Homo-oligomer: A and B are copies of this chain.
């Protein structure tokens, strides 16, 4: 049996660990051959494919990024009336045939799951693994990369506390999350944020101001505000800037903003993410070995299973207002808007 493996979409901590999990299991346990496809689906278009051996897997467990490279190539997306792009599926099929790949393992976020589902639709054996720092892939409790991103964001929030307190300021920090506020929620709660704003929950700037004023009355003339990048703003302003300006206007407090940015994506995965990535990688290989294609590996509670790719594609896992961390945060006085 011969499998190809690719990574697609934004990079995140743990991709290399899951590549290692897939390939070591495939080679050691099942005696499969493994081929690395470079730069996501672009590698299937360009025939940029190399065999992977055990030697290639050394040192991957704690390495950030992806040794296979990635791209945002969406081979099923039609561009205008262009007939050319319609040929992309055919090009991929030819590449897969040329290398006699019996199955493709796709590692990626929501976009990747959608593409993987379409690849399965045109007859390719696909097994997919969710990968996103944003934690918004539907069908799995969590994905590797999320705990690492939350850890980095929490450390950053920890650092802001000393400046907030020393200068009696409101510090606003913007973390990743366009549509889903998972990172903001988890890092905000772990970092002791006083106000946490998510794209999923509408906020009222007056209530935020009140929270800050109330803290002052309790002898705490400073506050930490954690915002997801995807919250609604006015005049095209970025999340942190918008909220900082509104708070300054509303309360008269000195405010400062920080945009955490790309450092949330990089570097060595946490122990939690390494083990999750390893388990998911291993399960993907097991699905292949048992001929269960068209599925995405999934974490449910404490165990790894899988869900049909077609159930995942096009959906988004959002924070709901009844989430335990929100309920608990509110009880403790955290303002969610």
Contact = CB atoms under 8 A, between A and B. Distances in A.
A1 B302 CA distance: 37
Interface of A: 7, 10-11, 13, 15, 21, 24-25, 28-29, 39, 54-55, 58, 61-66, 69-71, 141, 147, 150-156, 158-163, 165-168, 171, 186-187, 189-192, 218-220, 256-263, 265-268, 270-272, 274-275, 278-279, 282-283, 285, 300-304, 324-325, 327-328, 331-333
Nearest to A266: B159
A64 B159 contact: yes
Nearest to A23: B332
Given A141-B301, A162-B267, A285-B331, 11 more contacts: A11-B162, A58-B220, A70-B167, A151-B270, A153-B271, A159-B263, A190-B271, A258-B259, A259-B261, A282-B332, A303-B324
B166 A65 contact: yes
A162 B332 contact: no
6 contacts: A55-B219, A65-B162, A150-B272, A154-B271, A259-B259, A300-B301
Contact of A160 (B28, B187, B266, B285): B266
Contact of A29 (B166, B262, B332): B332
Given A159-B265, A262-B159, A265-B163, A147 B272 contact: yes
Contacts of A64: 159, 161-163
B69 A166 contact: yes
A159 B275 contact: no
Contact of A271 (B11, B150, B327): B150
Q: Nearest 4 A-B pairs (CB), nearest first?
A: A65-B162, A159-B266, A301-B301, A64-B162
A159 B267 contact: yes
A58 to B, nearest CB: 8
A183 to B, nearest CB: 10
B160 A262 contact: yes
Contacts of A168: 39, 69
B282 A331 contact: yes
A333 B28 contact: yes
Contacts of A259: 258-259, 261
A24 B219 contact: no
A197 to B, nearest CB: 18
B218 A156 contact: no
A290 to B, nearest CB: 13
Contact of A158 (B266, B285, B324): B266
B266 A65 contact: no
A71 B159 CA distance: 18
Contacts of A29: 331-332
A230 to B, nearest CB: 18
